[in-house]
Amino acid sequence: MAPPPSRPSGRTVHPELTAAVLWAVTAGAAPPAPAARLAERHLADGAPVPEQLHRELLAHLHRLGWPTVLAAARRLFARPRDPLLRSLVAAEDVADLLTRSRLAEPWLYIGHTTRADLRPGELTVRHLGHLGHRPLPAETLFVCALHLTAVATVTAQDVDAVLLTGDGRTLPPSAVHPTDAPAPIAAWRLRWTDTATAPTAPHPAERRLLGEVRRRIALDPAAPWRVGDTATSLGLSARTLQRALRTAGTTFQAELTAVRLDTAGHLLRRTDLPLADIAAAAGFTDHPHLTRCFRAHHGCTPSQFRRRSAEAAH
């Protein structure tokens, strides 16, 4: 009998992500690829799936065609077991989904990041390298399928997707074939019919204001921040600031919580401080308050977040 897979030394991938890809890869009549058999062993033994093995699975998934890629994404969101993934499908609207997915990025697509522009009935997403390598076309297609499925789940609407190339062309996801030269995919654009809950695209001045609010909070996240005091310091009324934040698809409390979670996450990844000290430094009432917010936004406890961050770094 072959020995069980050893613990990987590099970055690993969320097991439910790999399980969904593996399901799609092995659902056909063709025999499973070697990467699929190895991934099966990792998942069966409860071992982390190395990022490189997951990339090989995605390359095989890409060869099976866009419908199979989309089927893998739908499988993931149809049966989410991890609280992190359940929190995404429980989003109130697309703006809320983007906030939750930004916090979930370290576990959804390690090594990559996204930049999103939300407009009424339209979402444009750029898929960028973050920790070492540029995304391969197969990886970009799968993350596109994840976004498409998540938006369709949250809006209960049919969602169309087109890819945007670096030279300004658009093409359907099915047009990116693994046998062709890698397509210069710059972004993708999703469109759906329900625009009632999508926020109006923020004006550049409102985006700058949002950035200034985040910057000020980040300077002292433990301060007793209030929307009225913050608005006064910016030379605005509380109502004007709240209206500007709504136009940008957020609220003052959401931004305050997001900055405090970002601060806590940075301290968990970079220091050995006790959780009570991290909670105080980031502006949470106490350790239990930090844990509740982490569970709601990350789907895990601060201790689990710290452990996974350490595993991803080695």
Residue scoring higher pLDDT (226 or 79): 226
* DSSP letter string, 227-255: HHHHHHHTT--HHHHHHHHHHTT--HHHH
The pLDDT-based confidence of 189 (bands split at 50, 70, 90) is: very high
Distance CA 94, CA 201 (A): 13
How many C-beta neighbours within 10 Å does residue 74 have? 18
What lies within 8 Å, CB to CB, of 52 at 6+ separation is: 10
Residues for the chain: how many in total? 314
Statement: residue 101 has pLDDT above 70: yes
Q: Do residues 186 and 166 make contact, with C-beta atoms less than 8 angstroms apart?
A: yes
Distance CA 74, CA 69 (A): 9
Chain mean pLDDT for the chain: 81
Backbone angles phi, psi at 135, to 5 degrees: -60, 135
The pLDDT-based confidence of 276 (bands split at 50, 70, 90) is: very high
Q: Of 2-11, 202-211, 249-258, where does mean pLDDT reach its minimum?
A: 2-11
Pick 204-313's CATH classification: 3.40.50.740, 3.40.30.10, 1.10.10.60, 3.20.20.140: 1.10.10.60
Distance CA 294, CA 6 (A): 30
C-alpha distances out from residue 90 to 68, 160, 203, 273, 299, Å = 25, 21, 28, 32, 12
Where in the chain are the domains? Answer: 12-78, 85-192, 204-313
Token couple for 309? 């961050």
Amino acid at 260: R
Is 189 exposed, middle or buried (CB count within 10 Å of its CB: 0-12, 13-18, 19+)? middle
Statement: residue 1 has pLDDT above 80: no
